[in-house]
Amino acid sequence: MNELSNTFLTKEQQKLVLDVQSFVKQKLSNDFSGHDMAHIERVVKLAKKILQHEPKANGFIVIVSAYLHDVIDEKVVADVRQAIMELRDYLTSLKLTDTEIKMIFAIIENMSYRKNLNQKKELSLEGQIVQDADRLDALGAIGIARTFYYGGNKHNIMYDPNISPRTSLDENNYKHPNTVINHFYEKLFLLKDMMNTSIAKKLAEPRHHFLVQFVKQFEKEWQGEDYSY
């Protein structure tokens, strides 16, 4: 546990977070979709960075939720209902209060991009922080790498200029196969303006710019045009 965590957590909470960290590492040990433990640790670090600017937030709930945000995600687990039951039993075994467990589930069940397509979910401040941290990791160089990694995992083609990005998405058609480059237009380019916290908006700007420049260069090279630099 680093020094930054100590500013948010009591010693008992630090122990619980270490336990949660081990639990998540076990659950995601076989992930090859870009939702692995490395992603989780980056999201936790980003959440802690945002927490420094949001002193009213419950740091324990933020950090635990950041660790757990993918363990019940359908992109990662085969049986979401079973994963939810196992997680609830696990958190109960840690002797978290009912209120804490409700707060955590309210975040991790409602923060995903897909869950907010039909209607924006109302998230607590803690949920907004975790959502921002997760979305920041979908931007920049890491975001590009994860997008192609996930697309390859799902056997999606990289690009087809004859397939236009979809302009209307809902929870159902969002899951339909598409090109990797279209995912930038359909989701990643939109994330910058969806950030909740002021610091996340600032952090998103250069990462967003990097995405835009990459896609412009990719599309030029796809057509065999000269480098832009």
Instruction: Note whether residue 89 is domain-resident.
Output: yes
Instruction: Note whether residue 229 is domain-resident.
Output: no
Mean pLDDT value of segment 178-197 = 96
Mean pLDDT (the chain, rounded): 92
Task: Judge whether residue 130 has pLDDT over 80.
Answer: yes
Among 21-30, 157-166, 195-204, name the most confident range: 195-204
Q: Which domain holds residue 111?
A: 3-222
The three-state DSSP-derived secondary structure of the chain is CCHHHHCCCCHHHHHHHHHHHHHHHHHCCCCCCCCCHHHHHHHHHHHHHHHCCCCCCCHHHHHHHHHHCCCCCCCCCCCHHHHHHHHHHHHHHCCCCHHHHHHHHHHHCCCCCHHHCCCCCCCCHHHHHHHHHHHHCCCHHHHHHHHHHHHHHCCCCCCCCCCCCCCCCCCCHHHCCCCHHHHHHHCHHHHHHHCCCHHHHHHHHHHHHHHHHHHHHHHHHHCCCCCCC
Q: How confident is the model at residue 5 (pLDDT cuts 50, 70, 90)?
A: low
Instruction: Note whether residue 228 is domain-resident.
Output: no
Say what the pLDDT of residue 3 is. Answer: 45
Number of domains in the chain: 1
Instruction: Note whether residue 160 is domain-resident.
Output: yes
Which pLDDT tens digit goes with each residue over 22-79? 999 999 988 888 899 999 999 999 999 999 999 999 999 999 999 999 999 988 888 9
- CATH code, 216: 1.10.3210.50
Instruction: Note whether residue 56 is domain-resident.
Output: yes
Task: Judge whether residue 6 has pLDDT over 90.
Answer: no
Instruction: Note whether residue 227 is domain-resident.
Output: no
